[in-house]
Structure formats: C-alpha cells, structure tokens
A = this chain, B = another copy of it.
Amino acid sequence: MRWWGWGDPAHPPTLTARTLRFLGDAVGVAARPRPPVALGQVRLPPSSLPERALEALQEIVGAAGVRLDHPARVLHAAGKGYPDLVRLRAGEPGEAPDAVLYPADGAQVRAVLELCARASLAVVPFGGGTSVVGGVAPLRGEHGAVLALDMRRMGDVLDLDRESLTVAVQAGVRGPALERYLAPRGLTLGHFPQSFEYVSLGGCVATRSSGQASTGYGGVERMVLGLRLAAPAGDIQLPPVPASAAGPGLRQLLVGSEGTLGVICDLALRVRQAPRMRSYEGVFFEDFRAGVEAFRGLAQQHASPDVARLSDAAETRMSLAAAGAGGLKDRLGRRYLGLRGYGEAGCLAILGFEGDEEEVTARRRRALALVRRHGGLAVGRSPGEAWRRGRFSAPYLRDELLTHGVMVETLETATQWSSVSRLHTEVGRAIADALDAAGTPGLVACHVSHLYETGASLYFTFLARQREDDEIGQWRTVKDAASRAILSGGATITHHHAVGRDHAPWMVDEVGSTGLAALRALKRELDPTGIMNPGKLLG
C-alpha cells in the first residue's frame, strides 16, 4: 500500500483527461501538480518508547515483531481519510506510533496488552489501516507512548463448518485472502466495502462496516456470529450461536467498538453459497424522488437487488461526464434520454442481482416490473458492468485529484424513508453552502444505497478546489456543516464509515449523554487504564 495514499504503487492512473477538464471547468484545478513528498522527507517525532518497554515487547513478539524504522512508522502514522492524506503527502503527519508490533497469535496479543497496561503504553489496533475517520490515528492520550498493533500476522482461516455455513478466522485476515479461501469451496462472505482490497475482517467488525452488496448480504454486523475480544481486563469469548435471548446483545456491543475496548482476535462469520450468476444493470429515473420511491418499494416488498445504488442528478451528470467514448455517455447521452423525457434531473440507478440463474432471473423480473411502475427505464448492462469494474477505484482517483489540487471527500448517513429526500436536500445544501463560504464553490453529489425496509443510507461526495493555505481547516468547516445537518435531521452520524476521531465529538448527539456514559463505563471495566485506542469513538 502506498504510504501517502491508496493501493499498489504500481497501479495505473485512473484520472482521464476528460475528467480533469470537467473538473477544471467545474471547480478549478491546481496550475501545477502537487505530488507527495518523498518518503525520506516525511518528518516524524522521534520514538519515545522506553528501552525497557522495547525489550519486553521484543520478548513477547520476537525481535522481528517490533519495528521502529521510519517506513513502518510512516505506514502506521495515519489511515486513509482526507486529512490523513493531506498531512502525509505534505510529509507532516504530525504524529506516528512509537513502534509497530506484529503479534502472531492471541496469546501474544494478551501479553502485549498486559504489558502495555502496566507500562502505560497506548495501543492502536491496526488491521488494513483503511479508516477514513481517523480510526487508526496514533494518539497516545495520557500515556507515555503509543504502539500500532498490526494484525497482519494473524490472518489464518481456522475452521470451516460447511454444514452451518460459518467460517472461523483470525481477525487479521484480509478481505481478498478470505474470498480466495472461500471461492474454490463455492462460498463467499459477500462483504465488499470500497476498501475491500486492503481491509482486515477484524477491522470491518470493529467499525461496523457495510459492503457495497449489503442490501443483499447484510452489513458485517449481520455476518458476525461469534468473536473473541482480548481486552486488558480479560477475554470475552462469544460462541457462534445463530441467535440468543441470553441478555443484552454483547456481540453487537463489541461490533463497532473500534479498538477502544480491546483487540478482536478471532471471528466466526456467516458465509453463503457463491453466486453462479451476476446481473448488474442501469435504470434511469426521471428524478431523485421517483428513484427513492422505487427503491423504497423494492425494500418494502422484499424485492431488493443485492446491490442497489441510486445516484442523484448531480452524481449522474458527473458519471456521464466522466464516461469515455463508447461508454455510458454514448448510450445515455442527453439526446437519448431527452427523447424519452429524461432531462437534467434524471438519475441513474444500478441494480445488481447475484445467485443461481433461476433465482436471479425471477428476482430481476420482479424488481424491474416494480421499478417500471415508478417510471424507471432499464438502460442495459453496460452502466452496471462499468460500475462493477470501477467499484474499488474511487480511492485511486482521489489520490490523483489531490495531486491536482482538488479536495474530494465523502460522508454518509442513514435515515428513514420518510426523511431521505429531505435529508438529501438539507445535507447537500449544508455542504454546498459551506464550500461557498470557504470561497471554494464545489460539486456535491449523492447516492442512496444499502436499502432497509425502513430506510436507507445516503452517501455524499463533494469536490472543490483545495485551499492550499489551509486544506484541513477548509475540510473541517465543510465536514462540521454536514454533520450538523445530519444530526439535526434526526439521522445517524455514520452508516458505515464508523466514528474514529472525526465523529467522536458527535457521539453525544448520537446516543445522548447517558448513552455515552454507559459506553464509557463499559470501557473503564474492560480497559481500566485507558490504553485502548485513546481519543477515538468516545472522545
């Protein structure tokens, strides 16, 4: 993974000249590219790990299991949020772990936690490092030093129960590695967040992640049947039962704990038969509201596709503008759609069905019939396939846009169906107004995805010219405006990006002061010295 951004350093560019021109016209780009500094130029504070602690850690995880070198510390200095990337690219992450640990098993994790609790060392569990909300920021809180606990050596599949369709894994296993294990066995987890290529499953569970196909497969909280959390105060081991009425939902309490209660070491996850057929296609709606009503109908009549995604008019226009010759635009040009009565307000949706051929055929027929009743126009497979091909590519594009001086950020929420359209307007306006006020008018786009019977997620993307004197301040102003609009609209501060550092100040609005006090009491019990991921989730 690139230390200053996303993905394999050898990944080819994704930003087309067409898109760059479009953005130049729309928001403006930097006169000259602004590439990241060289790795050697990244300035880190010196490691403040005491020698005695280092020796004790080496005794637990072995000499090769502790790294203090500059590249390792840089790679664990931040996640992949916008402010992370801005700071890293400038060579000024501001903070870094004093050491990076690579435990090999749960016993080592336990020993590390016990040592850290005694020695007052903060611990930041680090899976794929893909947090976009500051979830892996190496904050030391009140402690003398901070360690990144990289889970990559704990990546084994432990057991497959074919009869129950459950798989037991170490929490450090990466998404692609698990799918590679499952695929030849005809199985899939079905969890494909945009960060899929790098995520660890433990990280997904700790952050209550939802994949792009969550409408069909459920969010990760639906996949977790059992888990083991190593907390400083002891282990919590919950067996993989399908359901239980034995008191409060402790599993669901640990899902989303974001490393603040302990380290998730093992997981038991539900898997499914891998689909034999996939059908992804585009549907055009006259306007956003018609699309929302169609999606609501799909969800409430139990006719949802596995992937459902409705772009608003702005996102639709951006997609069409970005599509090259022979692609989306040629097929869906304004002329074609205009002739059919779909104008500037038109919205493109992607519906993706997976399963056996018979099942996909039947579900697709039923869904499209419903969609047509809401004025939906099926426009064929190419938009669906284009989306599928590019579904993990946005983070690559973001890096290239940063090089051209364009801020690009995403944020998301979920709300009830009766509030979707109103919230779409309010949050979109809050973002646009904040960008205007910052003197950098921008583009704001949104899509609805992750359908539930009672509501859905709204996912906003915004782009604007970076304020080169104050990228982070500019970002924070917009982010705060959006967060206020979300919470005053009665929606959740996050549907699947989690809380981390960025959303922590909003948790009191989300769960109230008594709710927050309850979570803090839980933390005090499991992590009495407060070493686990300080400064995240609970503020």
Cβ-defined partner of A163 (8 Å) among B210, B296, B510: B296
A257 to B296, CA, bound (A): 32
Closest partner residue, chain B, to A517 (CB atom): B525
Our pick among B166, B495, B519 for the contact of A243 (Cβ within 8 Å) is B495
| Best-surrounded residue of A452, A497, A524 (most CB of chain B within 10 A) | A452
Query: Roughly how many angstroms separate A242 CA and B524 CA in the complex, as a whole number?
Result: 29
A418 smallest CB distance to B (angstroms) = 4
A258 at the binding interface (Cβ < 8 Å): yes
Q: Which residues of B contact A514 (CB under 8 A)?
A: 231, 233-236, 526
| Contact residue among B239, B248, B302 (Cβ-Cβ distance under 8 Å from A519) | B248
Residues 488-520 of A contacting B (Cβ, < 8 Å): 490-499, 503, 507, 510-515, 517-520
Contact of A522 among B492, B495, B522 (CB under 8 A): B522
Instruction: Give bound CA distance, A249 to B221, whole Å.
Output: 9
Given A165-B453, A234-B514, A517-B525, verify A414-B256 contact (CB < 8 Å).
no
- Given A225-B454, A454-B270, check contact A503 B253 (CB 8 Å): no
For the complex, what is the distance from the CA of A210 to the CA of B242, rounded to whole Å?
Answer: 13
The yes or no answer to A304 lying at the interface (CB within 8 A) is no
Contact A418 B525 (CB under 8 A): no
Q: Contact check: which of B210, B238, B257 meets A515 at CB < 8 Å?
A: B238
Are B455 and A517 within 8 A (Cβ)?
no
> A440 near B: Cβ within 8 Å?
no
List the interface of chain A (C-beta within 8 A of B).
161, 163-166, 207-210, 219, 221, 225, 231, 233-250, 252-258, 261, 270, 272-273, 296, 300-302, 359, 362, 414-419, 450, 452-457, 490-499, 503, 507, 510-515, 517-522, 524-526, 537-538
User: Which 6 A-B residue pairings sit nearest by Cβ, starting from the closest?
Assistant: A249-B252, A521-B525, A242-B455, A234-B514, A252-B252, A242-B452
A-B contact pairs, 30 of them (CB 8 A): A161-B416, A165-B300, A166-B454, A208-B249, A219-B243, A219-B245, A234-B512, A235-B512, A239-B492, A240-B454, A241-B414, A242-B414, A243-B414, A243-B450, A243-B457, A245-B497, A246-B510, A247-B498, A247-B507, A247-B511, A247-B538, A248-B519, A250-B519, A253-B253, A270-B454, A518-B522, A518-B525, A520-B525, A521-B525, A522-B522
